[in-house]
Structure 1
Amino acid sequence: MTTTQQDLLPGTRRALTHRIAVAQAEGRAPSLVAAVVRDGRTVWHGSRTSVDGHGPDEKVQYRIGSITKTFTAVLVMRLRDDGLLDLTDPLEKHLPDSGAGEATVAELLSHTAGLAAESPSPWWERTPGSLRPELADVLGEQPYRHPIGRRFHYSNPGYTLLGALVEKLRGAPWEDVLRREVLEPLGLDRTGGQPLAPHAVGWAVHPWADVMLPEPLEDLGRMAPAGQLWSTTNDLARFAVFLVRGDERVLSAESLREMRTPSAPAPEAADVGAGYAYGLGLELRHSHGRVLVGHGGSLPGFLAGLTISVEDDVAAVVLTNCTSGPLVATVAADLVRIVADAEPRIPEPWRPMRAADRPALELAGQWYWGTHSFALRLMADGLLSLGPLSGNGRTSRFRANGDGTWTGLEGYYAGELLKAVRRADGTVSHLDLGSFTFTRLPYDEDAPVPGGVDPEGWRGIG
């Protein structure tokens, strides 16, 4: 992926450099490297380091911790799209005797399976994976902490189970499947389970003194699908583009949109902060009026963050080599905000449809749900867009099914069916949207409004 510094204004580039300089200095990070992606390509790269005369570039590997989970989730979604499983399948259907077979695949992906956050002691991130050779060793004697499906509870063992599921259904080790199905097609040749030079060394910085201690480097074994990977800003920038646009060789844009949709009950704000949600292997945060998607990661010696604003088509990657230090998720969000605010996205030129969909065009215009007024618009991409004409109200876009019906894509009407009900002469009587009746006039007496319309019609007082 080519880095083109000149694509950003000098003031924007300076603001980005200032932000990571403050993060590295105040966070006391041995090194910090970052990249920004806009419109599908890297437009800025920056780094700060405590070593004079040296700055890590976009090809230096850092450990990315739980960003690994997003890669694992992509593999699971590929299994679904290939027809090898359904997200509602209990794990037991594909991985018998796992010890947590009642949980569904979707619940494992969204951290709602009720499993423990960590594997039994000793601390799995600082000890060899050989201490936990089997799934039973990862889960322990009491794997559950909460009722299945009732609440969000982040679980590293849950993603170990998903990695085992990938291995079972693909008949190959998790990392081999990942390389064949994701890394190689996307050109992520500096991402993998083991470090390749040049790579950063992980450090612990003393909390009360400016001294450091090297962190042990462990192979996580069975826990690898939850946090094993090493990567670079260059590779993660490519991965960010994929997470927005998709790649038919790996996963469709529609399946990635599904991953970016909140799937878990809202967690306690004290644990993750306000405005947090979790999809299928992706975190979602609300920040400065934006919805940001991506994932964070940490392992002893390393912190990592990948953040994307889909609406702005801007993404940021931040990697550093210290156990605790800069709040990389906040830094990444700030890098996105700096670019999106300073250089807002220029909309594509408006263009008309290539050919009008006449049945859909007939539905465009003003409709009423009771006395609430809505506009139904036919968009150039062939979707129908429904939204209130004033005030707050439910909005959604609808995709044509090819049989005169449309399916909702988001919001309250996601998955709900919209259909035009016609009279005997073929004219449209009303719209049926998930049993709600939309009419051309408020409580139209010529339409079958549920409950009927008072025969005396509209009137005043007196």
Structure 2
Amino acid sequence: MLPTTELALLRRLAHEQAVGRAPSLVAAVVRPEGIVWSGGRGQVDGAVPSDDTQYRIGSITKTFVATMVMKLRDEGKLDLSDPLDKHLPGTVVGDRTIAQLLSHTSGLTSESPGVWWERSPGADWTALKDSLVPSTVVLRAGSRFHYSNPGFGVLGELVARLRGASWLDVVGAELLVPLGMSRTTPMPSAPHALGWAVHPHADVLLPEPAPDAGAMAPAGQLWSTQNDMSRWLRFIGGDTGDVLRADTMAEMRAPAVVDDGDNWTMGFGLGLQLFRDSGMRLAGHTGSMPGFVATVMTTPGGTGAIVMANSTAGVGIVGLGLDLIKTADSLEPVLPTEWKPLTSVNQDLLDLTGTWHWGPTPYTLRLQSSDWLELVPTNGVGRASRFRPSGTDTWTGVDAYYAGETLRVCRDAAGAVTHLDLATFIFTRLPYAPAGPVPGGVDPHGWRGVS
């Protein structure tokens, strides 16, 4: 980035490290092409930390587990509305749905019973399951947002059962390896930062433990670097490659629950934390384990930020991340993606495009790519959705009002297109076309003036 932009970003990072008294702090600005700026302050092993220095990322681990659950959904191995008992019987939350566990609306307790799990060697799945007794279900299912670390221990075991391997092995083979994230590991690998607590009233440090969390590891075990987190942030933003459908990631980013009521500055999707600030909606996650705090956040396909520090508390990771994004976008805004024509086109789909009418209201059907469609009100006011192909003459809505609904192209006996059927609504080329199958019929006298 320009030297003036880099100085502004570095100054914000340096201010946070000094005021928050972080032993070390790294941050980066990420765009679709990768890291466009990064900086570090403080020391790790006597040197300024780099983009390859590992930090523990804590609850950002949950985003990997959630992605694996969504992969299993896309493969037909589960449905998000399935009760947990269908795939992982015998838990106290067996009647709660997989979607409720992903969005922290299952009502399960926030922490695992027993000793402070983040600071203690973890037990196995049987011990975790047995510790979750009826009294650890503290809220009615779906009643409100209630962050649950054990809920992701449960989801990690769900992934393991359906894949026949540990959740760590599955995440490694199906996410980390294909994405080239070789420096994301369950335990630290040099060069890595040590976790510290900073005394609240003196500039002295206390080492923090970093045990294996066992069955609770899916809630916060992983360590990573800025280089690896850059790839993961772009993945969350929609650059999913062949690992996950981009529209599945968009589904994960969609708000499922709001954390702070009327303010709606924090919320949750399916395994992703959501942030709203200054007109931006961002997705990602924060992380906190003894000795470490971290965050990743991004606007879809736009600018994101990474922040990682080796301090138990004191660093404003969310505020720093938001400020880095706003500074970068203010001083060097992202250019619109260059328009390019399609390399090929399906003539039958091209013939479908143009004006269609829902009753008297004109809509425009556009060909978005080689086979995706977009239906929008011609005057810009009303319901609009995008549709992906799902079969012969059928498309499935992927967003907005018609998400999940079927758009069907209907033909006559000769194969000519007569109308569109969208969730029973009929769209015809002419407003209330007399030949169209409009429920209730069309007045045979047609359109008229008033005498």
Asked whether the two chains share a fold, i.e. TM above 0.5, the reply is yes
Q: In structure 2, do the counterparts of structure 1 residues 418 and 52 end up closer, same or farther at CA, with 3 Å as the change threshold?
A: closer
Q: Aligned equivalents of 1:138 and 1:31: distance in 2?
A: 37
Q: In structure 2, do the counterparts of structure 1 residues 27 and 458 end up closer, same or farther at CA, with 3 Å as the change threshold?
A: farther
Match of 1:369 in 2: 358
Runs of 4+ in 1 over 6 A off after TM superposition: 50-53
- With 214-223 and 290-299 compared, the bigger mean Cα shift is at 214-223
Partner of 1:129: helix, strand, or coil?
coil
Q: Does the alignment pair 1:286 with 2:276?
A: yes
Q: Does the alignment pair 1:405 with 2:399?
A: no
Q: Does the alignment pair 1:316 with 2:316?
A: no
Partner of 1:142: helix, strand, or coil?
helix
Query: Any conservation in 1 of the 2:239–2:301 contact (CA below 8 Å)?
Result: no
Partner of 1:281: helix, strand, or coil?
coil
Q: In structure 2, do the counterparts of structure 1 residues 387 and 216 end up closer, same or farther at CA, with 3 Å as the change threshold?
A: same
Instruction: Map 1:233-272; keep pairs closer than 5 Å.
Output: 233-243=226-236, 244-248=238-242, 250-262=243-255, 264-269=256-261
Q: In structure 2, do the counterparts of structure 1 residues 186 and 419 end up closer, same or farther at CA, with 3 Å as the change threshold?
A: closer
Q: Aligned equivalents of 2:123 and 2:268: distance in 1?
A: 31
Match of 1:162 in 2: 155
Aligned match of 1:195 in 159, 163, 188?
188
Q: Aligned equivalents of 2:87 and 2:184: distance in 1?
A: 28
Query: Any conservation in 2 of the 1:120–1:140 contact (CA below 8 Å)?
Result: no
Residues 246-288 of structure 1 show CA distances to partners (whole Å, capped at 9, x for unaligned) of 243x4343443333333x2334438xx5143322221222332
Q: Aligned equivalents of 1:348 and 1:119: distance in 2?
A: 46
Q: Aligned equivalents of 2:124 and 2:390: distance in 1?
A: 52
Match of 2:264 in 1: 274
Match of 2:405 in 1: 416
Match of 1:180 in 2: 173
Match of 1:111 in 2: 104
Q: Aligned equivalents of 2:340 and 2:123: distance in 1?
A: 59
Instruction: Map 1:74-113; keep pairs closer than 5 Å.
Output: 74-113=67-106
Q: Aligned equivalents of 2:407 and 2:313: distance in 1?
A: 51
Q: Does the alignment pair 1:384 with 2:373?
A: yes
Q: Aligned equivalents of 1:74 and 1:394: distance in 2?
A: 29
- With 403-412 and 433-442 compared, the bigger mean Cα shift is at 433-442
Q: Aligned equivalents of 2:385 and 2:96: distance in 1?
A: 31
Q: Aligned equivalents of 1:63 and 1:369: distance in 2?
A: 54
Partner of 1:306: helix, strand, or coil?
strand
The percent identity for this pair of structures is 52
Query: Any conservation in 2 of the 1:302–1:322 contact (CA below 8 Å)?
Result: yes
RMSD: 2.9
Match of 2:348 in 1: 359
- With 46-55 and 278-287 compared, the bigger mean Cα shift is at 46-55
Instruction: Map 1:56-67; keep pairs closer than 5 Å.
Output: 56-67=49-60
Q: Aligned equivalents of 1:153 and 1:221: distance in 2?
A: 23
Q: Aligned equivalents of 1:207 and 1:118: distance in 2?
A: 25
Q: In structure 2, do the counterparts of structure 1 residues 179 and 209 end up closer, same or farther at CA, with 3 Å as the change threshold?
A: same
- With 68-77 and 206-215 compared, the bigger mean Cα shift is at 206-215
Residues 64-120 of structure 1 show CA distances to partners (whole Å, capped at 9, x for unaligned) of 110010111223334344554333332223322233222232322222222111122
Query: Aligned partner of 1:128: which letter?
Result: P
Query: Aligned partner of 2:270: which letter?
Result: L
Query: Any conservation in 1 of the 2:285–2:297 contact (CA below 8 Å)?
Result: yes
Partner of 1:340: helix, strand, or coil?
helix
Q: Aligned equivalents of 2:389 and 2:88: distance in 1?
A: 37
Q: Aligned equivalents of 1:430 and 1:141: distance in 2?
A: 54
Q: Aligned equivalents of 2:374 and 2:320: distance in 1?
A: 35
Q: Does the alignment pair 1:395 with 2:395?
A: no
Q: Aligned equivalents of 2:124 and 2:81: distance in 1?
A: 32
Query: Any conservation in 2 of the 1:100–1:143 contact (CA below 8 Å)?
Result: no
Q: Aligned equivalents of 1:193 and 1:170: distance in 2?
A: 19
* TM-score in terms of structure 1 length: 0.87
Query: Any conservation in 2 of the 1:138–1:222 contact (CA below 8 Å)?
Result: no
1:186 Cα offset (Å): 2.6
Q: Does the alignment pair 1:305 with 2:295?
A: yes
1:125 Cα offset (Å): 1.8
Partner of 1:401: helix, strand, or coil?
strand
Gap runs ≥5 in structure 2 = none
1:235 Cα offset (Å): 1.4
- With 284-293 and 50-59 compared, the bigger mean Cα shift is at 50-59
1:44 Cα offset (Å): 1.7
- With 277-286 and 289-298 compared, the bigger mean Cα shift is at 277-286
Instruction: Map 1:335-350; keep pairs closer than 5 Å.
Output: 335-350=324-339
Q: In structure 2, do the counterparts of structure 1 residues 136 and 447 end up closer, same or farther at CA, with 3 Å as the change threshold?
A: closer
Query: Aligned partner of 1:352: which letter?
Result: P
Q: In structure 2, do the counterparts of structure 1 residues 81 and 433 end up closer, same or farther at CA, with 3 Å as the change threshold?
A: closer
Query: Any conservation in 1 of the 2:21–2:198 contact (CA below 8 Å)?
Result: yes
Residues 148-177 of structure 1 show CA distances to partners (whole Å, capped at 9, x for unaligned) of 234332211110011122233333333233
Gap runs ≥5 in structure 1 = 1-7
Aligned match of 2:220 in 215, 227, 247?
227
Residues 276-335 of structure 1 show CA distances to partners (whole Å, capped at 9, x for unaligned) of 3322221222332232111111112211101122232x3321101222222212322332
Query: Any conservation in 2 of the 1:309–1:336 contact (CA below 8 Å)?
Result: no
Query: Aligned partner of 1:279: which letter?
Result: G
Q: Aligned equivalents of 1:140 and 1:204: distance in 2?
A: 33
Q: In structure 2, do the counterparts of structure 1 residues 358 and 275 end up closer, same or farther at CA, with 3 Å as the change threshold?
A: farther
- The number of residues matched between the two structures is 450
Q: Aligned equivalents of 2:216 and 2:45: distance in 1?
A: 36
Query: Any conservation in 2 of the 1:204–1:301 contact (CA below 8 Å)?
Result: yes
Query: Aligned partner of 2:63: which letter?
Result: T
Query: Any conservation in 2 of the 1:118–1:155 contact (CA below 8 Å)?
Result: yes
1:12 Cα offset (Å): 2.3
Query: Any conservation in 1 of the 2:23–2:42 contact (CA below 8 Å)?
Result: yes
Q: In structure 2, do the counterparts of structure 1 residues 183 and 353 end up closer, same or farther at CA, with 3 Å as the change threshold?
A: closer
Query: Aligned partner of 2:352: which letter?
Result: L
Q: In structure 2, do the counterparts of structure 1 residues 42 and 134 end up closer, same or farther at CA, with 3 Å as the change threshold?
A: same
Residues 193-235 of structure 1 show CA distances to partners (whole Å, capped at 9, x for unaligned) of 2122322222233445544433333332221110111111111
Q: Aligned equivalents of 1:424 and 1:164: distance in 2?
A: 52
- With 213-222 and 130-139 compared, the bigger mean Cα shift is at 130-139
